[in-house]
Amino acid sequence: MATDTTLQKNQPSVGDYLRKNIREYGLLVALVVIMVFFQIITNGVLFRPVNITNLVLQNSFIVIMALGMLLIIVAGHIDLSVGSIVAFIGAISAIMLVKWGLPAIVVVPACILVGAAMGAAQGYWVAYQKIPSFIVTLAGMLVFRGMTYVVLGGRPVGPFPKEFQVLSTGFIPDFLSFTDPATSVVKNYVALVAVLLLVGYAVYAGLRERRLNTLHETENEPFGFFVVQMGVIGAVAIFLGFQLSTYRGLPNVLVVMGLLIALYTFVTTRTTIGRRIYAMGGNEKAAKLSGINTERLTFYTFVNMGALAALAGMIIAARLNSATPKAGVGFELDVIAACFIGGASASGGVGKITGAVIGAFIMGVMNNGMSIMGIGIDYQQLIKGLVLLAAVFFDVYNKNKG
């Protein structure tokens, strides 16, 4: 009898649960609605295998940088320099690969270290000299952009060797081929099997978490809602996986992005450093009094952001097969917008990795869909600005209401 009471207590009604988590599930609903809308408006072009692949390639770097930007925003700061870091890393990777002839296996880790050093240079002034991050990273944006022009001499540098281009334009080879690709609908079984395994693991992890919540007498989402949620997410994932399998399979950059999402989700939800970042963003003075080294933590978040921006810079350069002085212009706005649309709070302490990823894909699907429709860049910027404003207003409204 006590067990039944506990289970009922730990499972609120669907209405109560949705009201309490309206932002998180509202984002998922918004993404689905936007995808369905553009699928209908574009006469089915949005979900074609080639376009899904292009959607991943076009937005992977935004998602990767959003992972780092979320930690910066949660910590109570901002980074305006990421677009310029992207350009500078693309420039030095081009010099190292094209002019110096260094192998990609040396260039990639070296560039990530350079990006981390650029983040550290900014993090030092923010963390230890207490200069506002807005000012420091605004200066960084200008300095790094100028350095890019100096390194490239104001001209594009390329093309890159094939082994470097694989970082962005390569695909996971199919080593599970059961049929002749020329006659089969499925061209790459690895993509299909990988998605099925991921869906199976997601269901297993969800059930395990529910069991642990029950054992610890913490709140669970209603079981019926859990089943519907897993069913919808699983169906969408399998559909997208099947579409990719009928083309060229899983892009390398999608695998990199997926691994990073899993890593940062684990760090923010399961590790001490993740909990400390949220505590610092919520109340820095209280965090410092509780023994958290807030200066070092702030420094690390900027180092991390620099490394991720460097990786994104190489992905963009490899995709374009050229490094240009104007690469990355405006990217910082897209990355910051993805985080705020995904539920991050401008005051710090609030935000989830999944939210930032969904926010990035909302922006990406909107960009892709509007481009297919032939909407000009001027109207695209207008619409994205209104979506960002609406998302922040929704967040503020819910806080004031609560």
Residue-by-residue DSSP string for 37-50: HHHHHTTT-TTSHH
Does residue 257 have a pLDDT over 90? yes
209-228 residue pLDDT tens: 888 888 887 777 777 778 88
pLDDT: which is higher, 353 or 9: 353
Let me know whether 379 and 290 are in one domain: yes
Predicted pLDDT of residue 131: 95
Does residue 8 have a pLDDT over 50? no
Residue 46 is assigned to a structural domain of this protein = no
Which pLDDT band holds residue 2 (cuts at 50, 70, 90)?
Answer: very low
**Contact of 55 with 365, CB cutoff 8 Å:** yes
- Distance in angstroms (rounded) separating the CA atoms of residues 87 and 326: 7
Predicted pLDDT of residue 297: 95
Let me know whether 192 and 330 are in one domain: no
Residue 48 is assigned to a structural domain of this protein = no
181-213 residue pLDDT tens: 666 778 888 888 999 999 999 899 888 888 888
Predicted pLDDT of residue 345: 82
**Helix H segments across 45-132?**
49-74, 82-94, 104-127
Tokens of 308: 């991720």
- Distance in angstroms (rounded) separating the CA atoms of residues 43 and 51: 13
Let me know whether 271 and 363 are in one domain: yes
Residue 56 is assigned to a structural domain of this protein = no
Which pLDDT band holds residue 106 (cuts at 50, 70, 90)?
Answer: very high
Q: For the packed helices 82-94 and 331-341, what is the interaxial angle rounded to 10 degrees?
A: 130
Q: What spatial distance separates the first Cα and last Cα of the chain, rounded to whole Å?
A: 34
Let me know whether 115 and 261 are in one domain: yes
Distance of alpha carbon 260 from the chain centroid? 9
Identify the domain containing residue 22 by its residue range. Answer: 1-41+171-250
Q: Over range 93-108, report the average pLDDT.
A: 94
Let me know whether 135 and 181 are in one domain: no
- Distance in angstroms (rounded) separating the CA atoms of residues 197 and 174: 16
Which one of 250, 270, 294 terminates a domain? 250
**Contact of 133 with 77, CB cutoff 8 Å:** yes
CATH number for the domain harbouring residue 381: 1.10.3470
Predicted pLDDT of residue 378: 81
Predicted pLDDT of residue 13: 65
Average pLDDT taken over every residue of the chain: 87
Which one of 214, 231, 250 terminates a domain? 250
Domains of the chain: total: 2
Predicted pLDDT of residue 181: 64
pTM of the model: 0.89
Tokens of 306: 């620099």
φ and ψ of 155, to 5 deg: -125, 150
